Structure 1
Amino acid sequence: MKSALFSILRHPKAKFGILLLVFALWIGFFAEHNLVRHFQDKYKLKKLLDQKEYLQEKIHSDQRKIQELQTNQKNLEKFAREQFLMKKENEDVFVIVEE
């Protein structure tokens, strides 16, 4: 058995194949910037970009609401009544919860 292994290792192609296999394993799993970590980072980046897009849309929507509230007194009053349950004097507010 030992002689068979040595006879295989004598061929330059076998040495190259073993070296290539060791290199692939090293790059794939053991190096600091290995392939597993690369794919994990790529997945995290995609999630963060999706979150960034969502938050940018939310910011844009909120900016439009702020602009609308600052320019229209009726909308400001409606917003205060709906969000903070504010009311005028001598007025009763009923909250209807739909199930």
Structure 2
Amino acid sequence: MSRMNPVLSFISHNRYWFVIIIGGLLVGVIDDNSFLTRAQYALQIKNLKEQISMYNSQYGRDEQKLNELRRNPKAITKIARENYMMKAEDEDIFVLSDDETNNNKENETTE
């Protein structure tokens, strides 16, 4: 019992500090509104704002393209030719490729 007496005396003497420290740990680390959770939310908000600005700029570019398509009928044929490989009835299209082919292909059955 003599061993417990100094410990209990220390705890009872500094009980307000213990309550403040334990309360601070509960609020700062474990609680739903803890500092860690707030930092994660701030990072998530930052990422979402970057995505919003990216989508707004993409929206602006797409709106410009759409206005161009509405005003200029030649833009429709340009996009059809470039993106979808469409052609007029009286023309031929040649697609050239820079890919190198491997001429030394070995057949599996030649072994």
TM bucket, shorter chain: 0.7 to 0.9
**What displacement does 1:64 show?**
0.4
Q: Unpaired runs of 5+ in structure 2? A: 100-111
Match of 1:3 in 2: 5
Q: Which runs of 4 or more aligned residues in structure 1 lie more than 4 Å from their structure 2 counterparts after TM superposition?
A: 96-99
Residue 45 in 1 paired to residue 45 in 2?
Answer: yes
- CA separation of 1:96 and 1:45: change in aligned 2, threshold 3 A: farther
Q: Give 1:62's aligned amino acid.
A: D
TM-score under structure 1 length normalisation? 0.83
For 2:52 and 2:96, locate their aligned partners in 1 and report how far apart those are by CA, in whole Å.
Answer: 35
- CA separation of 1:50 and 1:96: change in aligned 2, threshold 3 A: farther
Match of 2:78 in 1: 78
Q: Give 2:47's aligned amino acid.
A: K
Specify which structure has the higher proportion of helix: 1
Count of residues in Structure 1 that have an aligned counterpart in Structure 2: 97
**What displacement does 1:10 show?**
2.9
For 1:97 and 1:42, locate their aligned partners in 2 and report how far apart those are by CA, in whole Å.
Answer: 49
Secondary structure of the 1:74 match is: helix
For 1:60 and 1:97, locate their aligned partners in 2 and report how far apart those are by CA, in whole Å.
Answer: 34
Identity %: 26
For 2:40 and 2:20, locate their aligned partners in 1 and report how far apart those are by CA, in whole Å.
Answer: 24
Report the RMSD for the aligned CA atoms in angstroms. Answer: 1.9
TM-score under structure 2 length normalisation? 0.75
Q: Give 2:42's aligned amino acid.
A: K
For 1:16 and 1:94, locate their aligned partners in 2 and report how far apart those are by CA, in whole Å.
Answer: 85
Where relative contact order (Cα < 8 A, 6+ residues apart) is larger, the structure is: 1
**What displacement does 1:28 show?**
2.2
Secondary structure of the 1:10 match is: helix
